[in-house]
Amino acid sequence: MKKRVLCYGDSNTWGFNAMNENVYGQRFPEEVRWTGRLQTLLGENWTVIEEGLCGRTTVFEDPLREGLNGLQYLGPCLATHNPLDYLILMLGTNDCKARFSALPKNIADGLGRLIVKAKQACVWRDQPQILVIAPPPIRKGNDTSEIGRDMGVCSEKSAMLSKEYRLWAEAEGCIFLDAASVAGMNDYDFMHMDDVSHERLAESIAGILKADLLEKE
């Protein structure tokens, strides 16, 4: 029976390509996105499900764009892809936007609500298995860039998420990955991963999932 992995995230899970002005805002091909690479690395005995949405937050309602509250959509999303063996959560970058006025702990607490809700959902083939990923920090260049006009100053806040996420993961018995250990944001808009980072992140996640499965066998 294939293992089913749901990847729930924002534009960096969707595959937003910001590497140069000519293709800004387009989507990396499936074979470049970390989700697609993860499918290849895990092989035919796994099903990797993409659920990335540009602008998605953990729990915040965006006053400028509707439908981006990750908490509200999580339940229907989990039910849609029932049954599940693993859930990967990588959110928080958009929560750092100045208009949400959220502290790093507030953002992490939002992620914590997603963890709790997911664990309580009747979608698990066995026990809930959640991989919490702290996204690569937004780089300082974003604070004064053109896109920074929308984001605001948020690089320092973003860099503090990993510590707070780790605490939630440990408290809830989740697997934790600090994406900054293997990936980073690009040199163009400073808040999206480049193709190399997609590759490295996929390799790291594949190793974690395979090791976790082997440990349980």
Q: What is the pLDDT of residues 172-207, one digit of tens each?
A: 999 999 999 999 999 889 999 999 999 999 999 999
Within its chain, how far is the Cα of 159 from the centroid?
Answer: 15
Tokens, residue 187: 């040199």
Angle between helices 161-171 and 104-120 (to 10 degrees): 30
Q: Reply yes or no: is the peptide bond before residue 104 cis, omega within 30 of 0.
A: no
Q: Does 81 score more than 80 pLDDT?
A: yes
Contact call for residues 161 and 135 (beta carbons, < 8 A): yes
Considering the domain boundaries, does residue 150 fall inside one?
yes
Tokens 């996929």 locate to: 202
Contact call for residues 90 and 7 (beta carbons, < 8 A): yes
pLDDT at 22: 75
Q: How far apart are CA 129 and CA 176, in angstroms?
A: 11
Considering the domain boundaries, does residue 215 fall inside one?
no
pLDDT tens profile 126-174: 999 999 999 999 999 989 888 778 899 999 999 999 999 999 999 999 9
Q: How far apart are CA 85 and CA 129, in angstroms?
A: 6
Considering the domain boundaries, does residue 86 fall inside one?
yes
Considering the domain boundaries, does residue 184 fall inside one?
yes
Considering the domain boundaries, does residue 75 fall inside one?
yes
Q: Does 214 score more than 90 pLDDT?
A: no
pLDDT at 216: 67
Q: How far apart are CA 150 and CA 172, in angstroms?
A: 34
Considering the domain boundaries, does residue 149 fall inside one?
yes
Contact call for residues 174 and 115 (beta carbons, < 8 A): yes
The structural domain count of the chain equals 1
Considering the domain boundaries, does residue 216 fall inside one?
no
Expressed as residue numbers, the domain containing 35 is 3-208
CATH number at residue 61: 3.40.50.1110
Considering the domain boundaries, does residue 217 fall inside one?
no
Q: How far apart are CA 31 and CA 126, in angstroms?
A: 30
Q: Does 7 score more than 90 pLDDT?
A: yes
Contact call for residues 37 and 202 (beta carbons, < 8 A): yes
Contact call for residues 51 and 9 (beta carbons, < 8 A): yes
pLDDT at 49: 98
If we measure between CA atoms, which residue out of 116, 133, 10 comes closest to residue 62? 10
- Count CB neighbours of 207 within 10 A: 13
